[in-house]
Amino acid sequence: MTEPAISIRNLHKHYGSKHVLQGIDLDVYPGQVLGYIGPNGAGKSTTVKVLCGLISDYSGDVRVRGIDVRENPVEAKRLIGYVPEMAELYDVLTPSEFLHFMGNLYGLDEQLCEGRIVRMLGAFGLQPNIHQRMDTFSKGMKQKVLLTSGLIHNPDIIIFDEPLSGLDANSVIIVKDLIGKLAREGKTIFYCSHMMDIVEKVSDRIILIDQGRVVADGTFEELKQQQGNQSLEQIFARLTLQDGLGRAADDLMSAFETGKS
């Protein structure tokens, strides 16, 4: 079998007395789209920060393409493209200036970088805005620049953390199609999202974590068979003990009854 692109063994992380990750074990292989889901506070963002080399005070072993992320963070980061839900862009810069800066960080040739900037921003409909300062951009426009910055160096491993935030419907379709094409090129996709319908469609494997532990791992079809042919939302609610979500909606509606005669 192909060596895993991402390998995590017995990953633990504490914030003070809070045990956020409690022994995560995980292999993700080239060409695989992994949907990594869980409720707020489950440990998704912490896992991503560890993988990206943003957190080093953890216990366990974390490797990308065999490189120890803690011991060789710069070398590991060269293999990773990271697209966060929100990031502070240097919005006094233009997309061209910002993306050339990112390309320089990855050691890209200037001409190659320029060609990728023009083609990628053009694909997102931003070619007329390439030399416009980003402090005038909408959230969706900034997200398109973030997507471009995470992919511009053609990384082997791509970590998406709610990458569709703020995007219009056409751009969502483009990104979903892009994820499939990247996987077919042999890229490893680590996809975090709360949007169950998107995770269900783009992922060929889904891992659900709760309270820092893996509580489900398999394809969507496998999870359905294990959990009684339910939707991913229903599986999520059952395994994270959130079956009262429907009742919560009723409770919220009841607030409108307050004060009625």
Q: Give per-residue pLDDT as tens, 13-59.
A: 999 999 999 999 999 999 999 999 998 888 999 999 999 999 999 99
Cβ atoms of 24 and 11 within 8 Å: the answer is yes
Q: What is the DSSP letter of 19?
A: E
Long-range contacts of 85-89 (CB under 8 A, 24+ apart): 85/161, 85/162, 85/163, 85/165, 86/165, 87/146, 89/134, 89/142, 89/145, 89/146
How large is the C-alpha radius of gyration of the chain? 20
- pLDDT of 186 higher than 80: yes
Residue 134 host element (H or E): none
Torsion from C-alpha of 175, 178, 179, 185, nearest 10 degrees: -170
Identify the bridge partners of residue 7 per DSSP, sorted by sequence position: 27, 63
Looking at per-residue pLDDT, the higher value among 51 and 240 belongs to: 51
Evaluate if residue 257 carries a pLDDT over 60. Answer: yes
Mean pLDDT of 137-141: 93
Q: Which residues contact 44 (CB under 8 A, 6 or more apart)?
A: 36, 37, 38, 161, 192, 209
The CATH superfamily label for domain 1-79+159-168+175-244 reads P-loop containing nucleotide triphosphate hydrolases (3.40.50.300)
Full-model pTM: 0.89
Smallest CA-to-CA distance from 152 within 80, 206, 222, 71 is with: 80
Q: What is the pLDDT at residue 228?
A: 79
Tell me what pLDDT residue 237 has. Answer: 81
Number of helical (H) and strand (E) elements in the chain, helices listed first: 10, 10
| pLDDT tens digits along 105-116 | 999 999 999 999
What are 63-105's pLDDT values in tens digits?
999 999 999 999 999 999 999 887 778 889 999 999 999 999 9
Domain ranges of the chain: 1-79+159-168+175-244, 86-154
